[in-house]
Amino acid sequence: MQFINKRDTLVTESLNGFLRLRAGSELARLGGEAGLNVIFDPSHNGDRHVAVISGGGSGHEPAHAGFIGKGMLTAAVCGDVFASPIVDAVLSGILAVTGKAGCLLIVKNYTGDRLNFGLAAERARALGKKVEVVIVADDIAIPGLRQPRGVAGTLFVHKVAGYMSASRCKLEDIAKAARHVAKSAVSLGISLSSCTIPALGREDRVPKGKAELGLGIHGEPGVSLIEFESALHASTLLVEKLFAAAPKAGKYAMLLNNLGSTTALEMGVIANDILGSSQGKKIKYCIGPSPAMTSLDMHGFSVSLLPLSAPVEKALTAPVAIQAWPGVAKVGAIAVRKIRAQARGKPVKPSADLAFSQAIAAACGALIAAETDLNQLDAKVGDGDTGSTFARAARGVSHEIATLPLADRGATLAELGNIFARNMGGSSGVLMAILFSSAAVRYKSDADLVSAFRAGLKQVQFYGGANIGDRTMVDALAPALECLEAGQGLAAAAKAARDGAERTAEMEKAGAGRSAYVSSRNLVGHKDPGAEAVALLLEALAKTAP
Amino acid sequence: MQFINKRDTLVTESLNGFLRLRAGSELARLGGEAGLNVIFDPSHNGDRHVAVISGGGSGHEPAHAGFIGKGMLTAAVCGDVFASPIVDAVLSGILAVTGKAGCLLIVKNYTGDRLNFGLAAERARALGKKVEVVIVADDIAIPGLRQPRGVAGTLFVHKVAGYMSASRCKLEDIAKAARHVAKSAVSLGISLSSCTIPALGREDRVPKGKAELGLGIHGEPGVSLIEFESALHASTLLVEKLFAAAPKAGKYAMLLNNLGSTTALEMGVIANDILGSSQGKKIKYCIGPSPAMTSLDMHGFSVSLLPLSAPVEKALTAPVAIQAWPGVAKVGAIAVRKIRAQARGKPVKPSADLAFSQAIAAACGALIAAETDLNQLDAKVGDGDTGSTFARAARGVSHEIATLPLADRGATLAELGNIFARNMGGSSGVLMAILFSSAAVRYKSDADLVSAFRAGLKQVQFYGGANIGDRTMVDALAPALECLEAGQGLAAAAKAARDGAERTAEMEKAGAGRSAYVSSRNLVGHKDPGAEAVALLLEALAKTAP
């Protein structure tokens, strides 16, 4: 199953989507012939600049059309999925962009591509065009093979040739440099799956616990099936083989290519493993991790290395405005900054206020005493831990009551918020912490406990998302605060909280919190345990208050 | 199976890989605490610019750390996979980048994120920081839901807020604009698979032929399971629902988000379907297709729409140097250019040369007569069609012999190349076309048939990859050409070709062509049919030659 319409028109439709967006630059296609997918930069001046043309089978996106733009490709000739384009398509592409400066064809080393691009090149020469062909054979999967495959290292050739074309170098010089890059690039891939070929599906080829090493980018099986141990093992294996095969140099550029469906999370781990390895020290630049030369949705990656020389470095690192080109990052050490001491909270200075301390102790005592009852209530409408959660918070506060800055009510509110955050756990822990922390902030500018808690409740409702009537602690807290705001005293507030808590038993739907997942049938007749906790707490406070 | 090392350190390792690359800009992380993944721009001046902070669970890469940079995010606070970061991490992030200008927290609407970012905001306020919080709830999967999820539309908020911060707007104004964008963005996703949760695997939830509509980005099932018909059907469905839900506007920006493992080929088809639809006309800008807010490796995509106003358009389209931001493409018509007439070949003017015509006819006759023999030979070492391939070419030439420009040998060679390309088929057809086309080019500058064919053979070897001794037609052609070059005449050349063809029977390994896949045991004792064809052809020519 794939997001396609017709298999036959897949590549054309997909390229049309790309063309509608123009990918930030002006692109055109040749038209009129079914199946002819030639995309090019119509602003290219073929008399002043060498045309750099690549292409091959589709299914490797963003290669090749994605790399069209000043400083990389002038045109891409796209075949069907994993199939070389026909000679006529290549020839049309050459003729569309090639002027007096000539053109360079960059061809991955597959028989079909070599022959079709080759004949097109000969035909173009017969028509009087200057054409050079460079064949890329960077795959090192099969040692000693006379005709290695062309894989992701081809991107290095695109970039260097594209830079030289933009710099108005001559065809002969570009071809020479491109051949040098093609010869010195090495690539190797590893995969945990094959790819899904449109209308055919995915071959379930790689057994669990194994990885294919040295796979091709057209679904060809890997050269060997190895045990898959870890990202580190796979990365190290690849890099060691690559450095053994690469021409010796002081520094290298690496292309870290996502073959398709490897997650960005995994690609980051792989980058970390490679660049953190002993061999990784030789890597000065990294291109990617990014999908560059993919194999449809293959779950794997390839690494390509290119030895650096001054001209190669200059060409490779020159910026281009091509969206698919991930840029060239200079590899560096991880910058770590210290966490500001503020974030850890500063120690508070204890102070005394007997009445305040007694009130807090009474509230804590009430919550600790209600642990089992609240748990039983919560078992009916939630996950049965409200009692333990509030009791844990209360025990935490009791334990630290002597260290509280009680003479400073604002500071005490803030400290209580911190204790809830540290001890209480769960969403209600955070909500209680928000209530007290916000109240503390308000208290600083307006030393009134009632308006402080009103400010706190506002934030609880904002972050928690609960309104009155949603079967939460808000249903007890809000009416209690209203009483206090009306100057009715703690006893009236406790009564209002109690009434509010009782009303939750009639509410058929919870608008927030865990009870939101519980059906009406199981809710009606049972109070919300959070609202009940608030009622109990206020009742305890009312008893101790002077 | 995934490319990871340890589940516990996955996010930290992955972000470290990202930090080693610095993604083209300078990034730092807060350090010292296990599991604290706060990434930020250390060059941010918090007194001059509002800090724009986002984050949430990981598994949505490149969101959120990938969008750090001038003009988007100042910091990203990354939780574990699909889990909100803890309060302390968020607070540390706020304190690391927030100066006198204050900070804006952009929070996706999930209880965990709301509470942890919320408490951190309150704590930061308690520490004297100016903090504003905007909650994004752009998902329209469940109509009428009071707390819709925050999904890819969050990127719109990042971009607009980031632009305003870079432009030194005030916190209050940025928060107001961010809330407006958050309120007016709508998003919807569709998927053909769930995602692979690290160390858990992929739930095989979506039956073949079905698609999940309105899925979440944490593996939550889609709101409905629909019949999957085609990319067009899926795209149209999404876009219609989105336009019905979006605030009315003249023009919209679209974010086309790859949820993970959808191939670029599919994403192109989807872009084409959406932008080509009647509703698509209202889309002025497209961001992507690109992985932006992924759900690990989910095979799906989401579409987000944002109504455009002048200030939103300005903020959204302002360029940023952030690799993961795919840029904003102005949607346009597909530019189609005509194929140059040259590419189709120009008609040739027939002319006569009796001797030349007789030689060609004799060669054709010999190949047609040898069809069965050559097929039988090929059946032993290849796929049994060499005879038919050469006979088809010969019949093609015979058929067109009266139309050839025989008086002009160069033009005739070129025309023969064209006939081979049109009629012969397979690799040998292209190779024969290359031989004759290259020979024709050489003949233009040096009217000598022998050196023309030498030039042609050189190209055949370059594109075909065969040397002498590789069991191919080169083994007959090369010695024949050597005789002719030595002035020994056609009879000697035919004898050399014959000897060369006979020698292929002793060759144990084919270095190119289809016989390369055949074992020595099956090769030895049988001549290469291509070499035999060349020998037969030259023998026929030698008989007719004067």
A441-499 residue pLDDT tens: 999 999 999 999 999 999 999 999 899 999 999 999 999 999 999 999 999 999 999 99
Nearest CA-CA partner of A456 in A472, A437, A480: A437
pLDDT in tens, chain B (546 residues): 899 999 989 999 999 999 999 755 689 999 866 678 999 999 999 999 999 999 999 999 999 999 999 999 999 999 999 999 989 899 999 999 999 999 999 999 998 999 999 999 999 998 999 999 999 999 999 888 888 999 999 999 999 999 999 999 999 999 999 999 999 999 999 999 999 999 888 888 899 999 999 988 988 888 899 999 999 999 999 999 999 999 999 999 999 999 999 999 999 999 999 999 999 999 999 999 999 999 999 999 999 999 999 999 999 999 999 999 999 999 999 999 988 776 666 778 999 999 999 999 999 999 999 999 999 998 888 888 889 999 999 999 999 999 999 999 999 999 999 998 888 877 888 999 999 999 999 999 999 999 999 999 999 999 998 999 999 999 999 999 999 999 999 999 999 999 999 999 999 888 777 677 677 888 888 999 999 999 999 999 999 865
Q: Which of A44, A64, A158, A218 is catalytic?
A: A218
Q: What is the pLDDT of residue B440?
A: 94
Cα torsion for A200, A204, A205, A209, to the nearest 10°? 150
For chain B, say whether A464 makes contact (Cβ under 8 Å): yes
- CA A80 to chain CA centroid, Å, is 30
For chain B, say whether A21 makes contact (Cβ under 8 Å): yes
CA angle B383, B389, B391 (to 5 degrees): 135
Q: Do A301 and B336 touch (CB under 8 A)?
A: no
Give the number of A-B residue pairs with CB atoms closer than 8 Å.
391
Nearest CA-CA partner of A106 in A129, A83, A70, A135: A135
Whether B509 and B471 have beta carbons less than 8 Å apart is answered as yes
For chain B, say whether A301 makes contact (Cβ under 8 Å): yes
Q: What is the pLDDT of residue A293?
A: 98
**What gap in Å lies between CA B206 and CA B171, rounded to an integer?**
44
Q: Which residues of B touch A452 (CB under 8 A)?
A: none
Q: Which of B20, B92, B271 lies at the smallest CB-CB distance from A21?
A: B271
Q: What is the pLDDT of residue B25?
A: 61
**What gap in Å lies between CA B385 and CA B536, rounded to an integer?**
16
Q: Does an H or E element contain A95, and which?
A: helix A87-97
Nearest CA-CA partner of B287 in B156, B180, B106: B156
Q: Which residues of A touch B342 (CB under 8 A)?
A: 95, 127
Whether A235 and A273 have beta carbons less than 8 Å apart is answered as yes
Q: What is the pLDDT of residue B345?
A: 64
Q: Do A431 and B58 touch (CB under 8 A)?
A: no
Minimal C-alpha gap between A114 and chain B (Å): 5
For chain B, say whether A152 makes contact (Cβ under 8 Å): no
Q: Return the residue of B nearest to A120 by Cα.
A: B434
- Phi, psi of A449, deg, nearest 5: -60, -40
Over the stretch A349-369, which tens digit does the pLDDT of each residue have? 999 999 999 999 999 999 999
Structure tokens at A486: 């009306």
Q: What is the pLDDT of residue B265?
A: 97
Q: In Å, what is the CA distance from B84 to each residue of A7, A464, B87, B109, B116?
A: 42, 15, 9, 11, 7
Q: What is the pLDDT of residue B347?
A: 77
Q: Which B residues 374-413 touch A at CB under 8 Å? A: none
**What gap in Å lies between CA B154 and CA A331, rounded to an integer?**
30
For chain B, say whether A175 makes contact (Cβ under 8 Å): no
Q: What is the pLDDT of residue A521?
A: 81
Q: Which of B218, B233, B299, B399 is catalytic?
A: B218
Task: Check residues A144 and B210 and name the one with the higher pLDDT.
Answer: B210
Q: Which residues of B touch A338 (CB under 8 A)?
A: 30-32
Cα torsion for A23, A25, A26, A31, to the nearest 10°? -30
Q: Do A17 and B326 touch (CB under 8 A)?
A: no
Q: Do B265 and A5 touch (CB under 8 A)?
A: no
Structure tokens at A459: 């934030």
Structure tokens at A315: 């060409």
Whether A251 and A279 have beta carbons less than 8 Å apart is answered as no
DSSP assignment of B333-375? PPEEEPPPGGGG-PPPPPB--HHHHHHHHHHHHHHHHTHHHHH
With 60 as the cut, is the pLDDT of residue A24 above it?
A: no
- Phi, psi of A352, deg, nearest 5: -110, 145
| Predicted structure pTM score | 0.91
For chain B, say whether A497 makes contact (Cβ under 8 Å): no
For chain A, say whether B341 makes contact (Cβ under 8 Å): no
| B44 in catalytic set | no
Q: Which residues of A touch B434 (CB under 8 A)?
A: 115, 118-119, 122
Q: Do B438 and A122 touch (CB under 8 A)?
A: yes
**What gap in Å lies between CA A403 and CA A526, rounded to an integer?**
38
Q: How many CB atoms lie within 10 A of CB A538?
A: 27
Amino acid at B341: A
With 60 as the cut, is the pLDDT of residue A23 above it?
A: no
Q: Does an H or E element contain A376, and which?
A: helix A371-381
Q: What is the pLDDT of residue B76?
A: 98
With 80 as the cut, is the pLDDT of residue A22 above it?
A: no
Q: What is the pLDDT of residue B344?
A: 61
ipTM of the complex: 0.91
With 80 as the cut, is the pLDDT of residue A269 above it?
A: yes
